[in-house]
Amino acid sequence: MTKKTLRNVFYYSNSDAENGARISRELASKFFISFSRNLASKEALNFIGRTRLPNERELYGMFIKSLAESDLKGELGYVATEFQVNRIDDAKGRVDIFFSYRGTSFLVELKVARIGLPKFSDVIQSDEEDKEEPPVARVANPWLKGVIPQLERLNVETLKDCLHEKVVKMPMVVYLYVDWRKVGVRDGWQEPAELAHDYIIDNLQHNPPDFEYFTVFDEPVRTKKRRTSINGTEHDATLYGFSLVASMMNDSA
């Protein structure tokens, strides 16, 4: 592992020499903090506890709410979800979230990945020789085969009349830390969650994120798997916290 993961700390790796880097970094830092505050709020966790683990579309509203309540709100422009954008092969496509901020147009592709903490608990508890390796694909694919190539295929030239001169494509993944226990909350969830975050960052190094953020909840929430009926009363999953990773991919309108 490359560093000790700290809870509620925003990390960045881009430099001011990159086009639009300062604005993107300001946006990411303030948005990540606002998103974390909203998703970890009593109201949000109560709702998740009464429903199921959220997916991408269910987090669009949380994304917009976090933008609107952040320190960015004074300079936000138009905001849209499922924004239609052509792809480079002339096919029609959509980008999850579009918004403008300080003279820059942001096109965000969002994915949610659910990462099981039992794998990382096994790493802590097992001897070095017999530890079970956590799944690389579940960590890497939403980033390396999901949000990044989707944004690479967008043709923003066709939108030059409605975008600002500066355009930033921003891939983003929310990694939810979960387990599937039928009863009860796992003890000592903080350390395996920290290991999971570091494991994610280590396995994205083929295209490392510019921004990262990690948090665990003071009180994990019991909820349901995606495939479990929302009408049932039995919980079969626990949500312990999450990580956010994102990057800036410059383009010009």
Q: Which pLDDT score is estimated for 131?
A: 45
Domain boundaries, the chain: 11-252
What percentage of the chain has pLDDT greater than the value 70?
Answer: 90
Comparing 50 with 163, the larger pLDDT belongs to 50
pLDDT at 122 > cutoff 50:
yes
Mean pLDDT of the chain: 88
Reported pTM = 0.90
106, 170 in Cβ contact below 8 A? yes
Tell me how far apart the alpha carbons of residues 131 and 227 are, in angstroms, rounded to a whole number. Answer: 29
123-133, pLDDT tens digit by residue?
Answer: 545 444 444 55
Q: Which pLDDT score is estimated for 125?
A: 52
Q: Which pLDDT score is estimated for 239?
A: 96
Q: Kindly give, in sequence order, each residue whose CB lies less than 8 Å from that of residue 11, ignoring residues fewer than 6 positions away.
A: 211, 212, 213
pLDDT at 164 > cutoff 90:
no
Q: Which pLDDT score is estimated for 130?
A: 42
Which helix (H) or strand (E) element contains residue 105?
A: strand 104-116
Q: Which of 56-70, 111-125, 153-167, 207-221 shows the lowest mean pLDDT across its residues?
A: 111-125
pLDDT at 3 > cutoff 70:
no
Q: Which pLDDT score is estimated for 97?
A: 96
206-252, pLDDT tens digit by residue?
Answer: 999 999 999 999 999 999 999 999 888 789 999 999 999 999 997 64
Closest CA to 34 of 8, 54, 52: 8
DSSP 162: T
Crossing angle, helix 190-202 and helix 117-125, to 10 degrees?
A: 100
CA dihedral 132, 201, 197, 53 (to 10 degrees): -90
235, 225 in Cβ contact below 8 A? no
Q: Which pLDDT score is estimated for 127?
A: 45
Q: Which pLDDT score is estimated for 56?
A: 94
Q: Which pLDDT score is estimated for 62?
A: 96
What is the separation, in whole angstroms, between the first and last Cα of the chain? 39
6-27, pLDDT tens digit by residue?
Answer: 888 899 987 766 666 889 999 9
Q: Which of 27-31, 112-116, 121-125 shows the lowest mean pLDDT across its residues?
A: 121-125
